[in-house]
Structure 1
């Protein structure tokens, strides 16, 4: 069951400028970050409300063969009770998953699909100790 919108994710050209805009100018809080598998900066989270975030991906490289690195909307995400159940329910309704349930680098269970226009949609089930539960 979908409980709400967890985050909207964007790839940004300049992280410092983006964090200054969302935190200093709009008044939101920089909540936490996630490093990639090599320990490099990957995602910065800006807290909008309890359990709601803007997810900012480090970017700047607009590579046509890697659309996930294009500047702009990356994906949006719904928070769910159970990723396994959500995946089964979606597939039963004829929705094709692009990523089957798995544990991501952010230490949350997730699965993914596309809407009819190709927009990426993530469903997450945060771990009990996940910063997404703040």
Structure 2
């Protein structure tokens, strides 16, 4: 019998400044706090942020000792699929978020609105942003020519 996976449940991030992270994901990105779990002594352990039904981001109230630089960690980024890239980027920029064309470390800031936004190598529209802890977030909108759509048999939104 084959295993049937239904979703990627959540990426999990350690947070040196949990309040800044929560503010970013709730106030800027527009997600909602689902719940917080606590240690036996009553101190917060982790907070779940709801992205969509059955899709979460897990924020650990756990500091990490090293710089959180992309080139020095295994984790590279996580990706959020959006249904309207232009509107998403406009909203984020209006909240002071810098939008990048490609990974943030490339340093190519994207002009928003960007009416000449061309699909990337896999046929999707994509842009990158960074949260307060320095974690990169890819924003992606599938198009009819997206390899993810063509290969899965799914339809683009």
Asked if these proteins are the same fold (TM beyond 0.5), I'd say no
Q: Which has the larger strand fraction?
A: 1
TM-score normalized with structure 1 length: 0.45
TM-score normalized with structure 2 length: 0.39
The structure number with the bigger radius of gyration is 2
Higher relative contact order (CA 8 A, sep 6+): 1
